[in-house]
Structure 1
């Protein structure tokens, strides 16, 4: 398998304009590129987690206060260079999972170290929000490089969501399903952007349908009501969705219906690989419903 091209990240961090970020990038890059047996991504993941922990605990005073955010920002820029099927993706996921399973504070140097714990992955949620850009018709946002990076980032988070529950992954999953399935087609978007959005939506279902279905079940059993405003705007519905709860079986059924429509040819001109992924997503949703009913 070809080595991922880290060029986009190199263009940001290879200049040395921010020495702290450049140093973090070089540590991550060297671990990724170190020649080892590619069947052992977990060992490399542990090594990278140790590197990150060391950065947090050893950074000088100028870097220390921002070290958690800097690490995530650099790591997410690298993630966008790594295709979902490459072993490096598994390595990067494993590094974050490893950190989330550690006990204690990331450093005693904080004023309140008990509030900055490994298990909370401090600043990761904020870094994710700052890294997020929806593919749309804006200069540069429908370029092949951007669309591939968007796929890679979503795939990373979809895999991570199965293993770590301390990040706002539900927000990202529902965002992508809304963008791809619940909104009117963007007439200005080209075919590549449309297929990218569908690919991302299917990625969340392929890797997160079980978790999402259980979340819906628990929410329905709780009897809680959500609206689309204020703090619950995260779960807002798109204009194509009929009147229903923001998080419930009716919305799940709408997603499945849209996948079925697209798979049958009502999604416009899509390539065969995208159609096949849509069919796979629909089948997984069917399977989850069967298992859920048992």
Structure 2
């Protein structure tokens, strides 16, 4: 695996380090990164792929800068359409550079192949950290509501793997990664996920061994996930107290999201009722009540 300090990343990494240090704005960083990535017209795909690889490496190594990485990606997607030196639009696999952030979604698919090795301990912990930061970063991208970051399927995969597989079919290492990763989706995007009613064709949205319901997102699946977080908070496996506490707190957070949504819906209904009464029961300048 190529290190983040490898010379291949040096020009782009320098820009990102300036971004992290607040020496450049996200808009400026996006312009600089775009220019560097398209310098070699004979290998435009390679330049852009290198940028995506570096951004993921930074997301893993510098989670405290996720917001800045998200912002620079948003700014990249808003840059004018890139063109070659002879004025031709740059398309990669029918995706426009930069609006469509071509191949960025493909990078996500590669990242979701990650797993936790049995050992040694330092490699195991590094893999756990990568998976958790991967999901935090992805959830924050989706929280921007930008159409280019349509990654709900990745949320489903993590929630399914964490919550829909019997404990005896998952290793402690995978649970140590997947429970906090699933919790990150609820923490960052839970109110949205609660409202999602999105299906997926074929096997894309199918459940794990414990879920036989609708493929995709639905209220019933949300309820099942909430119950599973509660169950996982009490399991006797070598996940550590912190993971069990995360599971318990996430289940409670889901309860609060439901209550908040119900309260909001009651408030909206009440406002509509007041509007109706005002329009239909009051007349004249003096607001006379009609009997």
What TM-score do you get using the length of structure 2 for normalisation?
0.75
Distance 1:275 1:139, change over 3 A: closer
Higher relative contact order (Cα pairs below 8 Å, separated by 6+ residues): 1
Give CA-to-partner distance per residue, 1:129-164, whole Å, 9 cap, x none: 123323255778962222222222221111111013
Give the distance between the partners of 1:77 and 1:44, measured in 2 at CA: 20
Distance 1:89 1:9, change over 3 A: farther
Give CA-to-partner distance per residue, 1:36-76, whole Å, 9 cap, x none: 7x5x59x553343222221244x123332432222112221
Distance 1:226 1:152, change over 3 A: closer
- 2:56 aligned residue: 76
Q: CA RMSD in A?
A: 3.0
Q: Is the 8 A contact 1:176 1:200 kept in 2?
A: yes
- 1:214 aligned residue: 195
Distance 1:188 1:262, change over 3 A: closer
How many pairs are equivalent?
257
Give the distance between the partners of 2:139 and 2:61, measured in 1 at CA: 16
Give the distance between the partners of 1:123 and 1:266, measured in 2 at CA: 40
Distance 1:280 1:106, change over 3 A: farther
Structure 2, unpaired ranges of 5+: 266-291
- Counterparts in 2 of 1:1-294, with a 5 A limit? 10=3, 14=6, 16=7, 22=8, 25-34=9-18, 40=22, 43-57=24-38, 59-82=39-62, 84=63, 86=64, 88-100=65-77, 102-108=78-84, 111-113=88-90, 116-136=96-116, 143-163=124-144, 164-185=146-167, 189=171, 191-216=172-197, 219=198, 229=202, 233-263=203-233, 265-266=234-235, 268-293=237-262, 294=265
Alpha-carbon deviation of 1:108?
4.2
Distance 1:61 1:118, change over 3 A: closer
Distance 1:31 1:258, change over 3 A: same
Give the distance between the partners of 2:236 and 2:80, measured in 1 at CA: 49
Give CA-to-partner distance per residue, 1:185-214, whole Å, 9 cap, x none: 35572x343211111010111111122223
Structure 1, unpaired ranges of 5+: 1-7, 17-21, 220-224
Distance 1:32 1:103, change over 3 A: closer
Q: Is the 8 A contact 2:206 2:215 kept in 1?
A: no
Alpha-carbon deviation of 1:277?
2.1
